[in-house]
């Protein structure tokens, strides 16, 4: 049976990706308390010092392994609950109140921090390199001002999946139809350097979303990963001729060999003539839609197996090239190969898929209409009406 | 050190097929860039740049790398690819999905 296709599950990487990782909204760490973030196979402690700066250290005290996230912020330092050793944001032990002197070697793992678009980002590299500001995601003009709604922010722990499953979605045109019930009409990818982009135009599937209105939902989406874990998704939404600009942040922190924490946030450019309350409502609705979309992905991930050798058809996106790009974050810097970072462009041919999907949607609508005509008192409609019709990027 | 390590030698061959097989070199008609092109159909296009090609392209070099226009293709290169296709220099059609 040598012609039987075998799934190569491969082995997961032994390290976590190099690059900037977002830990959450900066304001959520500013309450004078230590915060625990599970990350990179362990935990981090995050706290704000008296100057308002945010500090991130490995979460365990180098003395006897006490849990710093259960400690106390004292002045600028985090104090361990076990023996009150005081650690500064620079990674040095600043004081041991019961000791004559602090051992010179009392340094712990610190993480370079920066605030970008109201979010706390840290630099992670197992090789211990200096943080690279050039690799940060861009500032979003206007975000954080009165022009945009405040970020909504959600945190979703994911188990039994490596975060590469999330990355794969960048190139996965057809899953938007089957998993997210949206209908991609145009799909393109560009990878270069540390960036990977997905362009997509899509519309809602009228057969899956219940309301007639979703046939009038059109999306133009541009989603770029800046490094291994932080994606900005610019969305132009047209709903019945009403235009909205939405920005979605989709980021994650790896927590173990097959687990990660997904975080996503939404901000909406306040449409003219709409009050803040309505704008906040619109923003919340989009956040709910994307939240539902991610759950659809999670269900797939939890039940699938890892595949190193996906079998592709000619309508699929460039999975192998995306993974080649992603590999750059998992090898030593000296081992980054030119093809991992060289520019690559890919236009997916959606023609055949669109022909088939149009027919399928039409058939589903016709069947539904027939069922309703038979007086099937709405029993079949309920389960589908809460499915999100908007999903992009992943 | 590799990260996602395949456990089958066939996977390496798959990687080669999907990333580098059937690429045809196309030269830009306006600059010195030469890229690898694959067309699985009329509407599909795959373009593999090299660093040399990328540095030769004045259109892409003009962009600063931070803006969103960075991701748009070079219109001159796309026109050159269209010409090459029209002249029959690039085969159209996939081979078993790659």
Residues of A in contact with B66 (CB under 8 A): 138
CB contact under 8 A, A8 and B68: no
Determine whether A180 is exposed, middle or buried from the number of CB atoms within 10 Å of its CB (0-12, 13-18, 19+). Answer: buried
CA distances from A116 to A38, A101, A113 (A): 21, 38, 10
CB contact under 8 A, B18 and A330: no
Give all strands of the β-sheet with A42-48 in edge-to-edge order. Answer: A35-39, A42-48, A54-58, A110-111
- Of A19, A43, A6, A7, nearest in space to A163 by CA: A19
**Residue in chain A nearest B15 by alpha carbon:** A320
With b for 16 or more beta-carbon neighbours within 10 A and e for fewer, the B40-74 pattern comes to beeebbbbbbbeebbebbebbeeeeeeeeebbbbb
Strand partners, B46: A346, B38
**Residue in chain B nearest A191 by alpha carbon:** B71
Cβ atoms < 10 Å from Cβ of A313? 12
> Residue A372: how many CA atoms within 13 Å on its side-chain side?
10
Separation between Cα atoms, residue A5 and residue B13, nearest integer Å: 13
For residue B67, pLDDT beyond 60: yes
Task: Give the per-residue pLDDT at A51.
Answer: 96
Task: Give the per-residue pLDDT at B66.
Answer: 67
B68 → closest Cβ in A9, A15, A234: A234
Question: Are the C-beta atoms of B57 and B77 separated by less than 8 Å?
Answer: yes
CB contact under 8 A, A344 and B48: yes
Task: Give the per-residue pLDDT at A210.
Answer: 45
For residue B37, pLDDT beyond 90: yes
Task: Give the per-residue pLDDT at B64.
Answer: 72
Across residues B55-73, what is the average pLDDT? 83
For residue B2, pLDDT beyond 90: no
A314 → closest Cβ in B6, B41, B60: B41
CB contact under 8 A, B71 and A195: yes
**Run of H or E residues at B21:** none
B49 → closest Cβ in A342, A350, A351: A342
Minimum mean pLDDT among A300-314, B8-22, B53-67, B84-98: which range? B53-67
Separation between Cα atoms, residue B56 and residue A233, nearest integer Å: 30
How many angstroms away from the CA of A6 is the closest CA of chain B? Answer: 9
Separation between Cα atoms, residue A94 and residue A334, nearest integer Å: 35
Give the start-to-end residue ranges of the domains of chain A.
19-135, 152-385
How many angstroms away from the CA of B65 is the closest CA of chain A? Answer: 10
CB proximity under 8 Å: A 44-73 to B: none
CB contact under 8 A, A10 and B4: yes
B4 → closest Cβ in A12, A199, A319: A12
Task: Give the per-residue pLDDT at A94.
Answer: 98
A19-135 against A152-385: fold identical: no
In chain A, which residue ranges form alpha helices assigned H by DSSP?
A: 164-168, 175-178, 276-303, 319-327, 338-341, 351-373, 382-385
**Run of H or E residues at A155:** strand A152-159
Separation between Cα atoms, residue A155 and residue A28, nearest integer Å: 12
CA distances from A317 to A170, A313, A358, B19, B71 (A): 9, 9, 20, 12, 17
Separation between Cα atoms, residue A154 and residue A391, nearest integer Å: 16
Can you read off the two tokens belonging to residue A202? 């899509």
Task: Give the per-residue pLDDT at A212.
Answer: 38
For residue A119, is it left (φ>0), alpha (ψ between -120 and 50) or beta? beta
Question: Are the C-beta atoms of B66 and B32 separated by less than 8 Å?
Answer: no
DSSP assignment of A8-50 equals ---B--SS---EEEEEEEGGGG-SSS-EEEEETTEEEEEEE-T
pLDDT tier for residue B63 given thresholds of 50, 70 and 90: confident
User: How many residues comprise chain B?
Assistant: 98
Task: Give the per-residue pLDDT at A16.
Answer: 97
Task: For chain B, list residues whose CB is within 8 angstroms of any CB belonging to chain A.
Answer: 1-8, 10-11, 14-15, 18-19, 40-51, 54, 60, 65-68, 70-71, 73, 94, 97-98
Separation between Cα atoms, residue A392 and residue A201, nearest integer Å: 9
Q: Is A323 on the interface with B (CB under 8 A)?
A: yes
Separation between Cα atoms, residue A330 and residue A344, nearest integer Å: 19
Each of the 394 residues of chain A gets a pLDDT tens digit; together they read: 468 999 999 888 889 999 999 999 999 999 999 999 999 999 999 999 999 999 999 999 999 999 999 999 999 999 999 999 999 999 999 999 999 999 999 999 999 999 999 999 999 999 999 999 999 999 999 999 999 999 999 999 999 899 999 999 999 999 999 998 888 999 999 999 999 999 999 988 888 764 434 677 889 999 999 999 999 999 999 988 889 999 999 999 999 999 999 999 999 999 888 898 998 998 898 888 888 888 899 899 989 999 999 999 999 999 999 999 999 999 999 999 999 999 999 999 999 999 999 999 999 999 999 998 987 555 544 444 445 566 777 6
How many angstroms away from the CA of A127 is the closest CA of chain B? Answer: 12
In A182-313, which residue ranges form alpha helices assigned H by DSSP?
A: 276-303
Task: Give the per-residue pLDDT at A384.
Answer: 45
**Residue in chain B nearest A344 by alpha carbon:** B48
Work out whether the CA dihedral B81, B87, B93, B98 comes out positive or negative: negative
Q: CA-CA-CA-CA torsion for A365, A371, A373, A374, nearest 10 degrees?
A: 170
A314 → closest Cβ in B4, B44, B60: B44
Residues of A in contact with B94 (CB under 8 A): 314
CATH of domain A19-135: 2.102.10.10
Residues of B in contact with A349 (CB under 8 A): 40-44
Q: Is A320 on the interface with B (CB under 8 A)?
A: yes
How many angstroms away from the CA of A189 is the closest CA of chain B? Answer: 9
Question: Are the C-beta atoms of A288 and A383 separated by less than 8 Å?
Answer: no
Quickly name the fold that domain A152-385 has.
Naphthalene 1,2-dioxygenase Alpha Subunit; Chain A, domain 1 (3.90.380)
| Preferred mutation among B4, B23, B34, B70 to probe A, highest tally of A CBs within 10 A | B4
**Run of H or E residues at A111:** strand A110-111
Task: Give the per-residue pLDDT at A376.
Answer: 58
CB contact under 8 A, A13 and B48: no
Q: Pairing state of beta strands A42-48 and A259-268?
A: unpaired
How many angstroms away from the CA of B23 is the closest CA of chain A? Answer: 12
Q: Pairing state of beta strands A119-124 and A242-256?
A: unpaired
Task: Give the per-residue pLDDT at B6.
Answer: 82
Q: Is A185 on the interface with B (CB under 8 A)?
A: no
CB contact under 8 A, A338 and B51: yes
């Amino acid at each position: 049976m040598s012609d039987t296709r075998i799934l190569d599950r491969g082995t997961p990487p032994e390290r976590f990706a190099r690059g900037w990782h977002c830990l959450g909204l900066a304001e959520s760490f500013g309450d004078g308390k230590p915060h625990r973030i599970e990350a990179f196979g362990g935990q981090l402690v995050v706290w704000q010092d008296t100057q308002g700066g945010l500090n991130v250290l490995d979460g365990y005290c180098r003395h006897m392994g006490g849990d710093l996230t259960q400690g106390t912020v004292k002045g600028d330092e985090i104090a361990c609950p076990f023996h009150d050793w005081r650690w500064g944001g620079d990674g040095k032990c600043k004081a041991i109140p019961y000791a004559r002197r602090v051992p010179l070697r009392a340094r712990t793992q610190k993480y370079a921090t920066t605030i970008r678009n109201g979010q706390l980002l840290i630099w992670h590299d197992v090789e211990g390199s200096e943080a690279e500001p050039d690799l940060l995601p861009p500032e979003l003009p206007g975000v954080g001002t009165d022009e945009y709604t405040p970020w909504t922010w959600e945190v979703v722990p994911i188990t039994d999946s490596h975060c590469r499953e999330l990355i794969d979605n960048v190139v996965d045109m057809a899953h938007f139809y089957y998993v997210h019930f949206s209908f991609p009409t145009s799909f393109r990818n560009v990878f270069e350097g540390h960036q990977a982009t997905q362009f997509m135009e899509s519309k809602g599937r009228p057969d899956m979303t219940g309301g007639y209105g979703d046939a009038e939902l059109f999306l133009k989406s541009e989603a770029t990963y800046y490094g291994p874990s932080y994606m900005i998704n610019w969305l132009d939404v047209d709903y019945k001729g009403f235009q909205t600009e939405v920005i979605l942040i989709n980021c994650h922190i790896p927590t173990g060999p097959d687990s990660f924490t997904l975080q996503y946030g939404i901000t909406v450019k306040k449409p003219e003539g709409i009050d803040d309350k309505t704008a906040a409502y619109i923003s919340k609705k989009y956040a709910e839609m994307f939240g539902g979309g991610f759950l659809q992905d999670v269900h797939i991930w939890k039940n699938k197996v890892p595949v190193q050798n996906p079998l592709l058809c000619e309508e699929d996106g460039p999975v192998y090239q995306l993974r080649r790009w992603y590999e750059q974050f998992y090898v030593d810097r000296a081992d980054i190969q030119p093809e991992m970072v060289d520019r690559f462009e890919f236009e997916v041919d959606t023609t055949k898929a669109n022909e088939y999907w149009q027919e399928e949607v039409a058939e589903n609508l016709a069947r539904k209409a027939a069922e309703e005509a038979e007086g099937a008192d709405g029993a079949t409609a309920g389960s589908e009406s809460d499915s999100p019709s908007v999903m992009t990027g992943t | 050190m590799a990260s996602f390590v395949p456990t089958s030698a066939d996977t390496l061959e798959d990687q080669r097929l999907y990333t580098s097989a059937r690429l045809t070199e196309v030269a830009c008609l306006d600059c010195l860039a030469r890229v690898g092109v694959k067309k699985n159909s009329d509407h599909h296009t795959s373009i593999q740049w090299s660093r040399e090609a990328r540095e030769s392209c004045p259109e892409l070099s003009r962009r600063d790398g931070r803006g969103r226009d960075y991701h748009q293709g070079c219109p001159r290169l796309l026109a050159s690819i269209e010409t090459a296709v029209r002249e029959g220099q690039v085969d159209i059609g996939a081979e078993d999905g790659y």
